[in-house]
Amino acid sequence: MTQTGELGRQVRGQDGLRVAVVDDHDLFRTGLRTLLEEHGVDVVGEAPDGSEAVDVVTSLAPDVVLMDLNMPGMDGIEATRRITKALPLTRVLILTISDEDGDVMDAILAGACGYLLKDSSIDDLLRGIQAASVGESLVSPYIAAKVLQRIRSSASLSEARATMHAELSDREIQVLKLIASGMDNAGIARTLSISPKTVKNHTSNILIKLQIDNRIQAAVYAVRSGIA
């Protein structure tokens, strides 16, 4: 079996994983739907703009939403904000042509759990869907490097000192550092010689203590606070 075929099998095996596609270009939506279905992904709904996306997603409650950003009417940022607020268990993965720092940061703050560019490979897209479905994150490497560099250059010492007062345990700080480095739960478990379930518990505690929504925001916090 090819690597892509294996990824498709893994995504298909996530307890009947259900995906919605939001994009204002009909041909792109149709092509993406066909491609995903060829790899075993169940595309349960589509929408051409943010407003309709909110209605469709609220009605269908898919596991993962593939969300474009620049659309007429309500954009993907506002749609992401409304969807993640209304349906906390539905994960939004941004799929866009925009590599602008502002768009990336706005998407993260709106609650997106991942950010991929439209020139990503099908393997990366399947990985992103799989990661999103279990509450993990995948960001295009180019985007991640760019945004983290911007955060590092803009974070002040006073901000770092202020945010360091969060009551994280030593182990949680270790986990947070590895999240910021881009590791998934399996990699963190191997590095720290603990079980993936323990990593998941630590990650949940980190998100609760920092009052943030996902691993991307945790990575941003780690950089701004000087932890990573």
| Structural domain spans, the chain | 3-145, 156-224
pLDDT value of residue 165: 47
Looking at CATH, the fold of the domain delimited by 3-145 is given as Rossmann fold (3.40.50)
pLDDT value of residue 25: 96
pLDDT value of residue 130: 92
What is the biggest distance separating any 2 CA atoms in the chain, rounded to whole angstroms? 52
pLDDT value of residue 155: 53
Q: List average pLDDT for each run of 10 residues in the chain, which is 228 residues long.
A: 49 69 97 94 97 97 97 95 94 94 86 91 93 84 73 54 62 91 88 93 86 82 78
- Provide the b/e sequence for 185-221 (b: ≥16 CB within 10 Å): beebbeebebeeeebbebbeebbeebebbbbbbbbbb
pLDDT value of residue 152: 62
pLDDT value of residue 137: 79
Q: Which residues neighbour 122 within 8 Å (Cβ) at sequence distance 6 or greater?
A: 4, 35, 39
* CATH code, residues 156-224: 1.10.10.10
**Which sign does the torsion angle of CA 17, 20, 21, 27 carry?**
positive
3-145 against 156-224: fold identical:
no
